[in-house]
Amino acid sequence: MESQKLNAAIVGLGFGAEFIPIYQRHRDVNIHAVCRRNESELHKIGDAFGVANRYTNYRDVLADPQVDFVHINSPIPDHAWMSIEALRAGKHVMCTVPMATTIDECRQICQLVGETGLKYMMAETVVYSREFLFIKDMYQRGEFGKIQYLQASHPQDMDGWPAYWERMIPMHYATHVVSPVLGLMDSRADYVSCFGSGAVRDDIREKSGNPFAVQSCHIKLADSDVAAHVWRFLYDTARQYRESFDVYGSEKSFEWTLVEGESHVLHTAKRPEHEIPERIEIPDFAHLLPEEIQPFTRSIVDADHLSFLQGAGHGGSHPHLVNEFVSAVRDDREPWPNATTSANWTCVGILAHESAMQGGAIIGLPEFTKAPSFRYDGAEGVGAPRVSTGDRVHSPRTVRLSD
């Protein structure tokens, strides 16, 4: 191990390969190992980037005493168990979204982080995109005035993607819309209500267990008078891909363009009506990064990778994610988002689906997701869900969760 450098193991080398050159240029990291099930593809990547240590078995990575942290980029069903096993093996974890697909898996990860003191970060691209950083900067400067409402959308046609997406529930992959509406004000979700709309074709319904074409969720922010609205779909609804984020304030509002590649719109209050909206260009935020990885906000290694073609390059977020996690481990501080924040963002989607299956029932977020860090007391952690009747919110009955 090179002096003072952290040894990284990159797990999953499709999307994950995009991060290797960023780590290789970071002053505090050594790419110690790569891992992929397909041996020929593993060696192809290992040769391309000059990584000597190569594993086809994930547990062999965890048994390597020189590995300080794993960066998990495996398919969604593997995220939770791989994170749990890594924490049990004494490795820090950065994992692509979502954290998990059940409440209990989120709880286990938070518990292990609390018990071990290891770092966990969900690698949510949206909150490190140049658009979010621009909006966050405006918010911190007070330019929006009072925030009144937030909304986000993530429509995406997944036909033609790997077959496991056909088994995915849209709201189980909702962090790209949940994270900005909660992350802007550094808030946690308190409770959710979600409606399903329309219907997917029979084969998708049978594989996923989700009957709805679109899922649309309202989120009540904890300790705030602000609510947010997010919506998702994966199949059978016509629309161009978009990961949008809108902010409505008393002084200014930001609206994402309706068509990818066009300019976003900033609205300013109290101007003549025809002067309220103006199209704006979003600056890059590479200056926030160490100089050696700044170029990666604009350039990518594999321009043909499907996640970049439909993901609009993820807003230049990848070097920001790497730098945030590495510096958190190096400085022994909590990364953003840390385990409990990641759990809150992830559980919103899990519980939104439960709500939709129950006709829009109001369901409270687990208490363990609302604290700054996890403190395990042996309790189940899911607060009594609150159910709305008329204008009142109370808890006359329990909404059962399947997880």
pLDDT in tens, 129-150: 999 999 999 999 999 999 999 9
Read off the pLDDT of residues 54-67 as tens digits, 9 standing for 90 and up.
999 999 999 999 99
Helices 103-116 and 79-88 cross at an angle (nearest 10°) of: 20
Instruction: Give the pLDDT confidence of 188-232 residue by residue, as tens digits.
Output: 999 999 999 999 999 999 999 999 999 999 999 999 999 999 999
Do the Cβ atoms of 231 and 196 come closer than 8 Å? no
Nearest to 248 by CA among 138, 178, 140, 150: 150
Domain 127-313 -> CATH class? alpha beta
Q: pLDDT of 60-98, one tens digit each?
A: 999 999 999 999 999 999 999 999 999 999 999 999 999
The domain segmentation of the chain, as residue ranges, is 6-124+317-337, 127-313
Q: Is the peptide bond before 211 cis (omega within 30 degrees of 0)?
A: no
Is residue 134 within 8 A of residue 256, CB to CB? The reply is no
How far is the first Cα of the chain from the last one, in angstroms, to the nearest whole number?
Answer: 41
CA–CA separation, 155 and 177 (whole Å): 10
Nearest C-alpha neighbor of 232 from the set 169, 288, 187? 169
Percentage above 70 pLDDT, the chain? 88
d(CA 273, CA 28): 52
Whole-number Å distance between alpha carbons of 197 and 359: 10
CATH architecture of 6-124+317-337: 3-Layer(aba) Sandwich (3.40)
Going from the C-alpha of 163 to that of each of 204, 205, 327, 381, the distances in angstroms are 10, 14, 36, 34
What is the maximal distance between C-alpha atoms in the chain? 65
Q: What is the three-class DSSP state of 149?
A: strand
- On the question of pLDDT at 163 being above 70, the answer is yes
């109370």: which residue's tokens? 394
Vertex 148, ends 359 and 142: CA angle to 5°? 145
| Residue tagged 């976003």 (tokens) | 264
What is the C-alpha to C-alpha distance for residues 355 and 399, in angstroms, rounded to an integer? Answer: 9
Residue 339 has pLDDT above 60, yes or no: yes
Give the pLDDT of residue 313. Answer: 65
What's the DSSP call for residue 18? G
- Other Cβ atoms less than 10 A from the Cβ of 251: the count is 14
Do residues 317 and 300 touch, judged by C-beta distance below 8 A?
A: no
